[in-house]
C-alpha cells in the first residue's frame, strides 16, 4: 500500500483522491535514490584525506573539521527526515543537500591538493623543539604526531603528523627540523619532519 506524499492518505490508485498528489516513495526506495547522491560527499572527504597525506597543512584541523561537518550535515538531515516519516516529502531537499555538500568537500580537497601541488616555493627548514609525542591506534593502523613549539608568533604549539621512524627517534633533547613551504594559495604546509 502506498501513501500520498502530501497528506499521508492510503492510496490504491496512482493519484491521491483527496488532494491530487503523487504517491510517496517508500523509505527503502527513497534511500536507494539518495545513496547515489552521497558518493560525491564521500569522494570529497577521501580526497581531503589523500591531499592532506601528501601536502599536510599546518592548520589542517580546520579543514578536516569542515570536511566532517560537510559530510554529516546532509546525513543528519536524511536521518531526521527518515525518523519523522518525511523522507519522501523532503527527498528533493535532501538530494540538493548532498549535491551541495559533495561540491564543497570536493572543492576543499582540490584546494588542499592545489595549494601543495602548485607550490613552487623552495622548502625552508625550521628548527624547533618537541613538547610531547602522541600515537593513535585506529583501524587503518597507528598514526604518529609530534607536538612541537611553534615558530609562528600567534601560536604556541604545532601538531605535526610524522612517520614511525621519526616518531621513534624524536626526543625532547634533540631539535626537530620541519621543511616548510608557503603554499600556492598562502596556506603553509610541510613536506618533511626530521629529528636531528
Write out the DSSP string of 35-99. HHHHHHHHHHHHHHHHHHHHS-BTTHHHHHHHHHHHHHHHHHHHHHHHHTT-TTTTHHHHHHHHH
To the nearest 10°, report the CA torsion of 125, 128, 134, 139: -10
Contact assessment for residue 169 and residue 157, using Cβ atoms and an 8 Å cutoff: no
| pLDDT tens track, the chain, 196 positions | 556 656 666 654 454 556 555 455 567 777 788 888 889 888 988 998 899 999 999 988 888 888 788 888 998 998 898 888 787 778 889 999 999 999 999 999 999 999 999 999 999 999 999 999 999 988 878 999 999 999 999 899 999 999 999 999 998 889 999 999 999 999 999 999 998 7
How far are the Cα atoms of 87, 116, 127, 146, 179 from residue 151, in angstroms, in the given order?
A: 51, 20, 8, 14, 12
Q: Where are the domains of the chain?
A: 25-117, 124-195
pTM attached to this predicted model? 0.78
Architecture of 124-195 per CATH?
Beta Barrel (2.40)
Q: What is residue 165's three-state secondary structure?
A: helix
Condensed to tens digits (0 to 9), the pLDDT of residues 154-180 reads 899 999 999 999 999 998 889 999 999
Distance CA 64, CA 85 (A): 32
Q: What is residue 126's three-state secondary structure?
A: strand
Amino acid at each position: 500500500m502506498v501513501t500520498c506524499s502530501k497528506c499521508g492518505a492510503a492510496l490504491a490508485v496512482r493519484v491521491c483522491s483527496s488532494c491530487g498528489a503523487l504517491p510517496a516513495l517508500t523509505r527503502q526506495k527513497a534511500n536507494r535514490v539518495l545513496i547515489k547522491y552521497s558518493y560525491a560527499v564521500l569522494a570529497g572527504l577521501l580526497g581531503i584525506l589523500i591531499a592532506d597525506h601528501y601536502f599536510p597543512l599546518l592548520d589542517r584541523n580546520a579543514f578536516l573539521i569542515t570536511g566532517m561537518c560537510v559530510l554529516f550535515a546532509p546525513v543528519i538531515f536524511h536521518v531526521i527526515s527518515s525518523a519523522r516519516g518525511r523522507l519522501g516529502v523532503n527527498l528533493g531537499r535532501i538530494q540538493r543537500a548532498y549535491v551541495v555538500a559533495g561540491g564543497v568537500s570536493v572543492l576543499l580537497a582540490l584546494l588542499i591538493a592545489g595549494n601543495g601541488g602548485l607550490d613552487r616555493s623552495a622548502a625552508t627548514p625550521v628548527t624547533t623543539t618537541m613538547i610531547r609525542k602522541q600515537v593513535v591506534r585506529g583501524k587503518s593502523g597507528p598514526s604518529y604526531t609530534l607536538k612541537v613549539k611553534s615558530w609562528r608568533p600567534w601560536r604556541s604549539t604545532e601538531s605535526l603528523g610524522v612517520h614511525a621512524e621519526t616518531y621513534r627517534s624524536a626526543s625532547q633533547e634533540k631539535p626537530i627540523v620541519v621543511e616548510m613551504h608557503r603554499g600556492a594559495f598562502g596556506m603553509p604546509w610541510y613536506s618533511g619532519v626530521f629529528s636531528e
